Structure formats: C-alpha cells, structure tokens
Amino acid sequence: MRLDKFLKLSRLIKRRTVAKDVANQGRIEVNGQPAKASSDLTVGDEVMIQYGHKKLVIQVESLQEHVKKDQTTRLYTVIKEEKVETND
C-alpha cells in the first residue's frame, strides 16, 4: 500500500494530498530512510512522521483498503512520540 494512502486511512494525516506534501518536504521516513508519498509499505515497517513540533514513530501492523473510524488504531502501534525543540 502506498504511504500517502496508509496515512489517510489510519487518520494520522487527514488528507492524502497533505500526506504527499509532508513526504515531499522530507518529514517522513520509512525504516530510517526518507520516503516519498508513493513508497510501498509492508507490515512491520517503522514510519517516522514529523508534524511541526512533534515527532511520531509508528510500526505498521495491518494494511487494509477500507477501515472504519473506530478501527484505525489497529493499523499501527505507536512506538515513540516526542516533542521536537526548535532553535528560534
């Protein structure tokens, strides 16, 4: 499954176009490597997403084409969530 589609289905990012923009800005890594929106994900992949002042690391647990809103957390496990300091 494409990275941008997974992020939308899991509701980690609201829209697929936003997921694509975040990936193009270099703020998403899959297994420690910079990822494009079209990167293929597999079960067990580790995904790091940086949102503004927050960094989220998840592990992909399941890849499904259709997911109900209350079942989205079954798609991934949060490994680490931390605030990122900025040098303002």
pLDDT tens per residue, range 10-49: 999 899 999 999 999 989 999 999 999 999 999 999 999 9
Stated pTM of the model: 0.84
* Cα 63 to chain centroid, rounded: 13
Domain boundaries, the chain: 3-83
Q: What is the pLDDT of residue 15?
A: 92
**Topology classification of domain 3-83:** 3.10.290
Task: Output DSSP code: residue 80.
Answer: E
Give me the DSSP letters along 2-71: BHHHHHHHTTSSS-HHHHHHHHHTT-EEETTEE--TTPBP-TT-EEEEEETTEEEEEEE----S---GGG
Percent of the chain scoring above 90 in pLDDT: 60
Q: What is the pLDDT of residue 31?
A: 93
Q: What is the pLDDT of residue 65?
A: 85
